C-alpha cells in the first residue's frame, strides 16, 4: 500500500487576485489553471482534478474542456474531475465526454462522481432539488452500467429506458477509471462497493482519523458484495510554503475570505484565527513547511490506508504565483519526504 501511494492536486478554479490586488477575469483564471497543471506534470505528480461549479467565485464550469486543454500540454499526469455532479448531468453524456478525453490523452482520463456539496447546478439545469438522493442513485446506476462498454438494457423512473444500447466512443483500453466522491454519506460508501468502484474521501474539516469508519465500511461492504477491495483516496485542502509561519500568514486571509463567503450562504459564523490554527494543527488543513505537510500526509495515509492523496491547492483569491510556488514545493519536496517517511 505505501509503495503505491499516489499524489495529486485538486482545484475548483478559485477566482484569484492579480499582483495589484484586483480580481482576475474567469478566462485568465482558467488559463492559469492550465499552467498549474502543466507544472504538476513537469514535477511528476500523478493526478490533477478539476471541480465543477456554476457560480461567480469559481471559474470552472466545464472541467472536461479544461482537462482537454491540459492534456494537449502534458505527457503523463492523469486528468479527472473533482467532482462531476452526476445528479444534474446526463450519465451518457458524462461517459462520452470522459471517453473522448481518455482518447485525446492516450488513456489518462478519470472521473470522480459525486452528489456535490453545492447545489447551484440543480436550478440551472432544471432539476428538482427535492429529488437530490433519487437523482444521484438512479444516474449512478445507469453510469455504472455504461462502464462495461457492452450493450446496455436499463430502466429507471426519471428517464426513458434503454434497450441494447451501445454508447460511443468506447474507451480504448480497459474501462474508464471511475471514483465515487464521498463527503459524509455512509450510503455513498456502500454504493461505491456495490458498483465495484474506488472511493475518494473529501475530508475538508476535523481530524482525518474520523473517516476510518468509512474505510472500514467500504471494505466490509465490498466483502459482503463478493468484490475485491478497491483503492481509497483522500482529498483535503492545503498550502505549502518555505516555513510554517509563512504558510499560515499567506493562506489565512484568503482561506478566511473563501470560508466566510461560503459559510454566510450556509449559516456558519465567520471563521476565527483560532479555528484556522486548530484546523492546521489538528484538522484537515495541510498548511505549513514541506516537512510539516509531509508528516501530516504520511500520518493520514497510514491511518486510513489510502492509495492516493489529493491536495486542494487553491483556496479563495490566493494569487496564481503563490499557488505555483506551493505546487512546486509540494511536488519537489513534500512528495519525496512522504515516500521516505512511509518507507
Which CATH number fits the domain that encloses residue 249?
3.20.20.30
Q: Give the tens place of pLDDT for each residue, 214-251.
A: 999 999 999 999 999 999 999 999 999 999 999 999 99
Task: Reply yes or no on whether the pLDDT at 117 is more than 90.
Answer: no
How far, in Å, CA of 79 to CA of 59, rounded? Answer: 18
What is the arithmetic mean of pLDDT over 300-309? 98
Complete DSSP assignment for 179-232: EEEESS-HHHHHHHHHTT--EEEE--SS-GGGGHHHHHHHHHHHHHTT-PPPPE
Instruction: Identify the pLDDT of residue 2.
Output: 44
pTM for this model (two decimals): 0.96
Instruction: Identify the pLDDT of residue 309.
Output: 98
What's the domain range around 216? 6-342
Domain assignment of residue 1, yes or no: no
**pLDDT tier for residue 19 given thresholds of 50, 70 and 90:** confident
How far, in Å, CA of 74 to CA of 79, rounded? Answer: 10
Task: Reply yes or no on whether the pLDDT at 116 is more than 90.
Answer: no
Domain assignment of residue 68, yes or no: yes
Residue 215: C-alpha distances to residues 3, 193, 235, 275 (Å): 19, 11, 14, 27
How far, in Å, CA of 218 to CA of 177, rounded? Answer: 18
Dihedral sign, Cα of residue 290, residue 296, residue 298, residue 300: negative
Q: Give the tens place of pLDDT for each residue, 24-62.
A: 999 999 999 999 999 999 999 999 999 999 999 999 999
**What is the residue-averaged pLDDT of the chain?**
96
How far, in Å, CA of 64 to CA of 103, rounded? Answer: 12
Domain assignment of residue 73, yes or no: yes
What is the arithmetic mean of pLDDT over 266-283? 97
For a pLDDT cut of 90, what percent of the chain falls above it?
A: 96
Q: Give the tens place of pLDDT for each residue, 63-95.
A: 999 999 999 999 999 999 999 999 999 999 999
176-196: string of b/e by CB count within 10 Å (b at 16+)?
bbbbbbbbeeeebbbbbbbbe
**pLDDT tier for residue 4 given thresholds of 50, 70 and 90:** confident
Instruction: Identify the pLDDT of residue 184.
Output: 85
Instruction: Identify the pLDDT of residue 221.
Output: 97
Instruction: Identify the pLDDT of residue 1.
Output: 39
Count of domains observed in the chain: 1
How far, in Å, CA of 275 to CA of 307, rounded? Answer: 29
How far, in Å, CA of 21 to CA of 303, rounded? Answer: 40
How far, in Å, CA of 178 to CA of 166, rounded? Answer: 19
Amino acid at each position: 500500500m505505501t509503495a503505491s501511494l499516489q499524489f495529486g492536486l485538486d482545484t475548483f478554479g478559485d477566482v484569484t487576485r492579480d499582483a495589484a490586488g484586483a480580481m482576475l477575469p474567469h478566462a485568465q483564471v482558467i488559463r492559469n489553471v492550465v499552467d498549474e497543471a502543466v507544472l504538476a506534470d513537469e514535477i511528476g505528480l500523478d493526478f490533477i482534478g478539476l471541480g465543477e461549479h456554476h457560480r461567480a467565485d469559481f471559474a470552472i464550469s466545464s472541467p472536461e474542456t479544461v482537462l482537454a486543454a491540459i492534456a494537449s500540454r502534458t505527457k503523463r499526469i492523469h486528468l479527472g474531475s473533482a467532482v462531476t455532479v452526476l445528479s444534474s448531468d446526463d450519465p451518457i453524456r458524462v461517459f462520452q465526454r470522459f471517453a473522448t478525453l481518455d482518447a485525446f490523452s492516450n488513456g489518462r482520463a478519470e472521473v470522480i462522481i459525486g452528489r456535490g456539496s453545492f447545489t447551484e447546478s440543480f436550478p440551472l439545469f432544471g432539476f428538482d432539488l427535492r429529488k437530490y438522493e433519487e437523482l444521484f442513485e438512479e444516474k449512478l446506476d445507469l453510469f455504472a452500467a455504461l462502464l462495461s462498454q457492452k450493450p446496455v438494457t436499463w430502466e429507471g423512473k426519471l428517464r426513458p429506458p434503454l434497450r441494447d444500447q451501445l454508447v460511443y466512443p468506447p474507451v480504448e483500453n480497459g474501462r474508464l477509471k471511475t471514483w465515487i466522491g464521498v463527503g459524509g454519506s455512509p450510503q455513498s460508501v456502500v454504493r461505491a462497493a456495490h458498483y465495484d468502484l474506488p472511493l475518494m474521501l473529501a475530508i475538508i474539516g476535523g481530524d482525518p482519523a474520523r473517516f476510518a469508519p468509512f474505510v472500514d465500511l467500504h471494505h466490509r461492504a465490498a466483502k459482503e458484495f463478493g468484490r475485491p477491495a478497491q483503492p481509497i483516496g483522500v482529498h483535503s485542502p492545503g498550502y505549502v510554503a518555505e516555513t510554517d509561519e509563512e504558510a499560515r500568514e499567506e493562506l489565512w486571509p484568503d482561506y478566511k475570505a473563501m470560508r466566510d463567503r461560503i459559510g454566510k450562504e450556509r449559516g456558519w459564523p465567520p471563521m476565527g484565527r483560532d479555528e484556522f490554527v486548530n484546523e492546521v494543527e489538528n484538522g484537515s488543513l495541510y498548511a505549513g513547511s514541506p516537512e510539516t505537510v509531509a508528516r501530516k500526509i504520511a500520518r493520514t495515509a497510514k491511518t486510513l490506508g489510502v492509495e492516493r492523496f489529493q491536495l486542494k491547492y487553491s483556496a479563495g483569491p490566493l494569487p496564481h504565483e503563490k499557488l505555483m510556488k506551493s505546487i512546486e514545493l509540494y511536488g519537489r519536496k513534500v512528495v519525496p519526504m512522504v515516500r521516505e517517511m512511509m518507507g
